[in-house]
Amino acid sequence: MKIILSHLTKTFPGRGRGNKKKEDVTAVNDFTFEIPDGKLVGLLGPSGCGKSTTLNLICGLQKPTEGQIFFDEEDVTPLTPQKRGVGMVFQNYALYPHLNVEQNIRFPLENLKGEDKLSKEQMRARVEEAAGLVQIGDLLDRKPAELSGGQQQRVAIARALVKLPRVLLLDEPLSNLDARLRLQTREEIRRIQKKTAITTIFVTHDQDEAMSISDLIVVMKDGLVQQIGKPQEVYDNPANLFVAKFLGTPPINVFDGRVENGSLFIGEEVVLKLKNVSDQPVHVGVRPEGFVLSENGSFTCRLSRPEVMGRDVSIVSTHTASQNPVVRSIVDAECCEHLSGDTVRFMLKPQKVFLFNQTTGERIPFEIER
Amino acid sequence: MKKNRLLTIITYAFLVFWALIVLFPFYWMVLTSVKDYGAYNAEYIPRFFTLFPTLQNYADAFTTVPLGRYLLNTLWFTVGTTALMLVVITLAAFAFARLQFAGRDIVFTLFLALMMIPNELVVITNFTTITNLELRNTFTGLILPSVTSVFYIYLLRENFAQIPDELYYAAKVDGTSDLRYLRKVMIPICRPTLVTITILKIIECWNSYVWPRLITDDADYYLVSNGIQEIRENGFGRANIPAMMAAVVVISLPLVILFLLFRKQIMSGVARGGTKG
Ligand SMILES: Nc1ncnc2c1ncn2[C@@H]1O[C@H](COP(=O)(O)OP(=O)(O)OP(=O)(O)O)[C@@H](O)[C@H]1O
Ligand SMILES: [Mg+2]
């Protein structure tokens, strides 16, 4: 089912007394977006940017200040959470500690009334189906406290899936897991989502997580949507400096630079020749994989050390115009055998270089002069 | 090693000694209850044992006053008060812990302030109220003043408040009503506290003396505590102490059994609710 958010806004009243009254907090600001049916959307952004608030608006736990939410053609904005048919997995799973796994999963089914009411057998069948989907069929008799983090999370997903929700919402479901389990479970989520084809929104502040499993990602900052698109597209084509910085590990290298007469300067060196860009100071973003080691490269850095990370080598260097403390570049292992001296020279791959307006941070498009 | 052993012996010796001191009144109670009335009165120096135990006193306790009736009254009173109180405090604690309404915190603070008023003061106003309502010598009048307890509301609210909010939100998303959430999630999670409260309340009811004594002068509504007093007054010019002790044994028995069954619960409850002295 498709979800349409239309000018969704949520403002929390400011707290404080007398004339010290604080300003209102706008947690979600004019969010308009259509989530296609059956897709997995990653909602991504730093802490406090309004991700959880967005989910709470969609599931109905909070009422929007403005705007509407549609599930397909139905306006669900005035509906209570009970009526929306949403499955939700909370950050800390929110399993009922006194119930065993089976009772936990069955809990939402017992709330069904009227014509939706299920018989005992139907409930058992549904519970077993959901448990099978997340592969916890043999844990049904355990209490949540007797499960590992990953198993608890699967129980939470099963509980969200058992009522066949129209929409599945996951609020940072992996944040409590260790690195390996996190990798494993996110694949699991992807698999389950593919299999059930339930429209899913997945909140995370880990860009790796969002990039790896989402069909679409939404990058948010301070309640405002920064960019929406396929993960690779957003990575290759960030709309602004914030998005560029937020996506990618290791993070993008940002330099102070300027455009003069069609030449892009970093420091005193001309690193690229551009067309169609007016003269102005700019921020230059270069992805770590955008550096190519080259004896007669146009970009010179002070070499700190190479770091070997398996197949690739990461060259750590410094540059006076760099905004990050170090410049990180990733190059093939073979290239760096002849690394010597205390400087290192690179050529830049133009498609890995982005220019941003120094005041607004907006992307400045450019073409390469050959 | 040896020193440790000595320490253990001293500790145990002390504990045995202390246990004897604590248990002695019980022993004395049981002992007196099986002494013959005549023999008891003939003892100038009380004896620490008797060679001719008798159950006559127990028969006397039940025949000189309607002790069976009093026991039944007390049972009603205890069950009624405890059950009603559980409902009242659970709902109140739920409201204070979970619901959002204007003035909630002020009302709760006022409730807490009530705990500072000594019980003895409240008894007087309660007496006036119940008398004015013409509820003297009724079960309603007996029960009504103790169907709520600020302290237990407070205790339970703190317990409820510890349940993470996410459980409530999860339940909401899954279509659970407030009352169902209370019944299916909050109460089961806080069951230990509720059991403790129940037991403490039962003991409190069973032992209550001042209020029933004030509010009833019709023997049909006497509780056991008043019944004992009556036995005492019935001894022909001289108190029938052995019969009274027999009654006391009978009355204490249910509580002793309760204690033995729920020993662990009571101990932890006393440790947790220990602030109330
Ligand atoms: N009930 C509330 N009252 C006032 N402000 C709130 C409330 N809930 C959230 N906020 C504010 O709204 C903003 C967004 O909060 P939200 O919980 O959506 O962030 P988030 O993106 O989920 O962050 P995180 O990754 O840390 O979970 C924050 O600035 C927060 O302080
Ligand atoms: Mg959050």
| Peptide bond before residue A250 is cis, with ω within 30 degrees of 0 | yes
φ, ψ of residue B190 in degrees (nearest 5): -95, 20
In angstroms, the first-to-last Cα distance of chain B is 39
| B139-170 pLDDT per residue, tens | 999 999 999 999 999 999 999 999 999 999 99
pLDDT (mean) for B174-180: 91
Do residues A12 and A145 share a domain?
Answer: yes
Does B175 sit within 8 Å of A82, measured CB to CB?
A: yes
What is the pLDDT of chain A when averaged over all its residues? 88
The DSSP symbol for B247 reads H
* B71-276 has CATH 1.10.3720.10 classification: yes
SS3 category, B272: helix
Residue B273: pLDDT over 70: no
| A129-151 pLDDT per residue, tens | 999 888 888 999 999 999 988 88
Indicate which ligand has the atom closest to the C-alpha of A53: 1
* C-alpha distances in Å from residue B183, one per residue of A78, A185, A199, B85: 27, 33, 33, 16
Q: Which residues of A touch B188 (CB under 8 A)?
A: 98-99
Do residues A193 and A257 share a domain?
Answer: no
Among residues B229, B73, B66, the alpha carbon closest in space to that of B142 is found at B73
Residue A170 CA to residue B92 CA, distance in Å, equals 34
Check residue B8 and give its pLDDT. Answer: 94
Indicate which ligand has the atom closest to the C-alpha of A25: 1
Quick check: A161 and A87 in contact, CB under 8 A?
yes
Q: State which of A200, A217, A246 marks the end of a domain.
A: A246
In angstroms, the first-to-last Cα distance of chain A is 48
Check residue B274 and give its pLDDT. Answer: 44
Do residues A44 and A171 share a domain?
Answer: yes
The residue to which tokens 């009504």 are assigned: B144
Does B169 sit within 8 Å of A94, measured CB to CB?
A: yes
Sequence-distant (6+) residues with CB within 8 A of A211 are A42, A217, A231, A235, A247
- Confidence band of B25 (pLDDT split at 50, 70, 90): very high
Quick check: A262 and A273 in contact, CB under 8 A?
yes
| B193-204 pLDDT per residue, tens | 898 899 889 989
Mutate to test the interface with B, among A110, A113, A123 (most CBs of B within 10 A): A110
Indicate which CATH number applies to the domain containing A232: 3.40.50.300
Task: Report the number of distinct structural domains present in chain A.
Answer: 2
| B42-74 pLDDT per residue, tens | 888 888 888 888 888 898 888 888 889 999 999
pLDDT (mean) for A283-312: 86
Share of chain B above pLDDT 90, in %: 51
- Confidence band of A357 (pLDDT split at 50, 70, 90): very high
Check residue B271 and give its pLDDT. Answer: 62
φ, ψ of residue A350 in degrees (nearest 5): -60, -35
| A41-89 pLDDT per residue, tens | 999 999 889 999 999 999 999 999 999 999 988 999 999 888 888 999 9
Do residues A227 and A362 share a domain?
Answer: no
Check residue A307 and give its pLDDT. Answer: 85
Do residues A168 and A56 share a domain?
Answer: yes
Check residue A241 and give its pLDDT. Answer: 95
Angstroms from B150 CA to nearest CA on chain A: 27
Check residue A107 and give its pLDDT. Answer: 94
User: What's CA B173's distance to the chain center, in Å?
Assistant: 41
Nearest CA in chain A to B169: A61
* C-alpha distances in Å from residue A61, one per residue of A333, B174, B184, B206: 52, 11, 20, 46
Angstroms from B192 CA to nearest CA on chain A: 12
Check residue B63 and give its pLDDT. Answer: 86
Check residue B78 and give its pLDDT. Answer: 95
Ligand 1: residues with CB < 6 A are A 12, 25, 27, 45, 47-53, 205
Residue A163: pLDDT over 90: no
Does B172 sit within 8 Å of A112, measured CB to CB?
A: no
Residue A27 CA to residue A146 CA, distance in Å, equals 37
Share of chain A above pLDDT 90, in %: 50
Indicate which ligand has the atom closest to the C-alpha of A10: 1
Alpha helices in chain B (DSSP H): 2-33, 37-42, 56-64, 67-98, 104-114, 119-132, 139-143, 150-161, 165-173, 178-181, 187-189, 191-207, 210-215, 224-234, 241-261, 263-272
Mutate to test the interface with B, among A58, A63, A76, A98 (most CBs of B within 10 A): A98
Check residue A133 and give its pLDDT. Answer: 84
Check residue A21 and give its pLDDT. Answer: 63
Residue A35 CA to residue A41 CA, distance in Å, equals 7
pLDDT (mean) for B22-37: 91
Lowest mean pLDDT, pick from A299-313, B74-88, B224-238, B247-261: B224-238
Residue B217 CA to residue A93 CA, distance in Å, equals 59
Q: State which of A217, A246, A275 marks the end of a domain.
A: A246
Pick from A81, A97, A112: CB nearest B173: A81
Encode B223-259: b = buried (16+ Cβ within 10 Å), e = exposed. Answer: bbbbbbebbeeebeeeebbbbbbbbbbbbbebeeeee
- Confidence band of B277 (pLDDT split at 50, 70, 90): very low
Residue A241 CA to residue A285 CA, distance in Å, equals 8
Residue B230 CA to residue B219 CA, distance in Å, equals 10
Residue B16 CA to residue B5 CA, distance in Å, equals 16
Minimal-distance CA residue to ligand 1 atom 2: A12
The residue to which tokens 């109180």 are assigned: B85
The residue to which tokens 């008894």 are assigned: B123
Does A107 sit within 8 Å of B172, measured CB to CB?
A: no
Highest average pLDDT, of A178-182, A345-349, A364-368, B107-111, comes from: B107-111
Residue A175: pLDDT over 90: no
Lowest mean pLDDT, pick from A15-19, A244-248, B106-110: A15-19
pLDDT (mean) for A115-131: 89
Do residues A95 and A122 share a domain?
Answer: yes
A87's tokens:
């499955």
What is the pLDDT of chain B when averaged over all its residues? 88
β-bridge partners, A273: A263
Structural domain of A228: 3-246
| B85-102 pLDDT per residue, tens | 999 999 999 999 999 899
B89's tokens:
């405090």
Residue A100 CA to residue A151 CA, distance in Å, equals 13
Rounding to the nearest 10 degrees, give the CA dihedral for residues B252, B276, B216, B247: 10
Do residues A236 and A356 share a domain?
Answer: no
Distance (Å) from CA A96 to ligand 2 centroid = 21
Residue A235: pLDDT over 90: yes
